[in-house]
Amino acid sequence: MTVNGTTRTRDVEPRLLLIHFIRDELGLTGSHWGCDTSNCGACVVLLDGTPVKSCTLLAAMAGGRTVQTVEGLGRDGRLDPVQQGFIACHGLQCGFCTPGMMMTARWLLDRRPDPSEEEIREAISGQICRCTGYENIVRAIRWAAGHPEGA
């Protein structure tokens, strides 16, 4: 599969979950393992551009496809506006849900460059944050919408 623009080839057990492939095989530990039941979204990555919960997908199912993780979010050494927004608006505290939230935010902004608060809340409603009460995550995504080229 292609991960963050690089082709990766491995022989894996059929049962290996994508999240464990990304973390343990590729050493990309920015995506997190949080719940096993597709409820928390700490493991969200983009698969062919669409957010998926990588704890509920076999690594083999992603074979030949394109995966983007938080490590591939910035471009040319610059932070993505979403990343900048999370810093500017205090959109993270412990940081554990943050990569998954940011991947979904990127997907949303790619489709709806100027989302309403309600649309943002709906977009991240499959993901759990235990620290922020979501307020500043929503503001961070709004910030990114208002700064499409970053700060």
Binding site for other proteins (CB under 8 A): 13, 15-16, 20, 23-24, 27-37, 39-40, 42, 69-71, 73-74, 79, 83, 86-90, 92-99, 102, 117, 120-122, 124-139, 143
Q: Measured from the CB of residue 130, what is the shortest distance to other proteins in angstroms?
A: 5
How many angstroms separate the most distant Cα atoms in the chain? 44
SS3 66: strand
Spatial distance between the Cα atoms of 26 and 29, rounded to a whole number of angstroms: 8
Q: Measured from the CB of residue 25, what is the shortest distance to other proteins in angstroms?
A: 11
Structure token pair of residue 79:
């932070």
Q: Measured from the CB of residue 93, what is the shortest distance to other proteins in angstroms?
A: 4
Q: Measured from the CB of residue 107, what is the shortest distance to other proteins in angstroms?
A: 15
Please, is 110 exposed, middle or buried when counting C-beta atoms within 10 Å of its C-beta (0-12, 13-18, 19+)? exposed
Cβ atoms of 38 and 53 within 8 Å: the answer is yes
Q: Measured from the CB of residue 63, what is the shortest distance to other proteins in angstroms?
A: 19
Residue 48 has, within 13 A of its CA and on its CB side, a CA count of: 5
Unique residue bearing structure tokens 């998954």: 100
